[in-house]
Amino acid sequence: MDCTILLPLLITTLFGLIGWLVVHRLESRRDFEDKKREIVTQYLIGCYNDLCTLQASKEAKGVDFRELQKILNYVQLFGSSKQIAIVNVIIKNLKTSEDCDIAPLINELRNELRKFLLLEHLDFEDQFIDIKILSETKNS
């Protein structure tokens, strides 16, 4: 057997195998991060929508605390440290009284999601209407 041919083939094969393993490892990590980002985004968008619905209907019929607790749990699980701090303030306020302001959490979720989705930053607060109240006033 001729070592002048075998040695370059072994070295080339070894580098090819190492390169494949490195690329596979990096792609697996990227796929995991992409899936995690997709799940977090999906849950936070759901929380944002549910909070907006609660905010819009809160004057009409009060807050459904079970629904609010579910939303706050998701934010505590998937949210940023700033969002979790806002949730902690909301929970603290709910423990001392039944009144809480969820608008700061809604705005923080909106800003974080827009940044995450590479959308333009907005400096104003969300506006809400209650569809039931609006339709009742138009029908009267």
Cβ neighbours of 1 (radius 10 Å):
4
> Total domain count for the chain?
1
Q: What DSSP assignment string belongs to 92-136?
A: HHHHH-S----HHHHHHHHHHHHHHTTPPP--S------HHHHHH
Q: Is residue 106 part of a domain?
A: yes
pLDDT over threshold 60, residue 59: no
pLDDT digits (tens, 9 = 90+) for 89-134: 999 988 888 677 888 999 999 999 989 888 888 777 666 555 554 4
Q: Is residue 67 part of a domain?
A: yes
> Is the overall model pTM greater than 0.75, yes or no?
no
Q: Is residue 23 part of a domain?
A: no
Q: Is residue 85 part of a domain?
A: yes
Q: Is residue 69 part of a domain?
A: yes
Which domain does 121 fall in, by range? 38-139
The gap from C-alpha 123 to its chain's centroid, in whole angstroms, comes to 19
